[in-house]
Structure 1
Amino acid sequence: MGETTENQQLTPEHRELLDQILDKWSLQVLDQLCGQSLRFNELRRAIPLVTQKSLTTTLRRLERNGMIERVIVGTRPVAVEYRISPIGNTLQELIDALLDWSSERLPDIQQARARFDAEHG
C-alpha cells in the first residue's frame, strides 16, 4: 500500500466510521438506497438474509452518521421511507468500486484460500 499523508492516517475515529460503513449489512443497505427510497419491509425483501433487528440497528447507525435520511411519508397509515443522504450519495462510486474489485478478485482470493487451507490443513 502507498504511503499515507498526515491527513490520511487511520485514526480511531476513522476506524470507527469505516467499521460502521463497511459492516455486514451497511454496504448492502447503502447500495439498495442509492437511487431510490425504500420502506423498511422493501429493504428487508431486497436483503433477504438480514433480520429485522439487524436492519433496524443498521438503519439507525447509518442515520446517526448522516448517510441516510428517515422520512415520514404523510399518508394514512403513516409510513417511513429511507433514502440516501447527500453525504451517503458520495459513497456510491466507492461502493461500486468495492463490489467491482471483489467480483474481479474473488477467483484469485478463493485460490489463495485453498492454497492456505491445503498448507495449514
Structure 2
Amino acid sequence: MLKARDTMTCQIRDVLDRVGDKWTLAVVNELGGGPRRFTELKRGVPGISQRMLTVALRVLERDGLVGRTVHPVVPPRVDYELTALGRALLERVWGLIDWTVENHHEIEKARGRYDSLNR
C-alpha cells in the first residue's frame, strides 16, 4: 500500500512540477485562444525568450498537451494548439487564474504586513 502511495506522489509531483514552472501555464493560457504560430505565442507571452518558448512547447508537445502542425508551404508554417488533454488542463487552471486575479491585491497587502513585522 505504501509503495502505491509513493508512486502516486511521485506521479503527482512530476506533473505539478511541469505545469507549475515559470512558463508552462502562460503558454497554455495563450493557446486557449486557439492555434498560434510561434511568433504569435512569443508576442502573447510577455517576457518569454525564444529559447524558453521553444523548450516549453517541446515539453508540452512531449506531454501530449500541445499539438504541432507543420504546413507544407514555403516558407514553412508551424501552428501550435492545445490538445484535448491541454484544454482539460486549462479548464481546471482557469479557476486558479481567476482566484489569483481576485486575490492578488490581498496577497500583496499580507506580504507587506509580514515583511514590515519581520525586518
Shift in Å at residue 10 of structure 1?
A: 6.0
TM-score, length basis structure 1: 0.87
Q: Distance in 2 between matches of 1:73 and 1:35?
A: 20
Secondary structure of the residue aligned to 2:22 is coil
Q: Is residue 2:93 matched to residue 1:101?
A: no
Deviation per residue, 1:28-62 (Å, 9 max, x gap): 11011124111111111111310011111111111
Q: Distance in 2 between matches of 1:106 and 1:77?
A: 43
Q: Which runs of 4+ in 1 moved over 2 A?
A: none
Aligned to 1:3: none
Secondary structure of the residue aligned to 1:82 is strand
Instruction: Give the gaps of 5 or more residues in structure 1.
Output: 1-5
Structure ranking higher in helix proportion: 2
Shift in Å at residue 21 of structure 1?
A: 1.1
Q: Distance in 2 between matches of 1:10 and 1:107?
A: 35
Shift in Å at residue 63 of structure 1?
A: 0.7
Deviation per residue, 1:62-108 (Å, 9 max, x gap): 11111001111122212111110111011222221111000111122
Q: Is residue 2:117 matched to residue 1:119?
A: yes
Aligned to 2:39: 41
After the TM superposition, which residues 1-121 of structure 1 pair with which residues of structure 2 at under 5 Å, given as runs? Answer: 11-121=9-119
Instruction: Give the gaps of 5 or more residues in structure 2.
Output: none
TM-score, length basis structure 2: 0.88
Q: Distance in 2 between matches of 1:73 and 1:95?
A: 30
Shift in Å at residue 24 of structure 1?
A: 1.1
- For 1:107, the aligned partner's letter is H
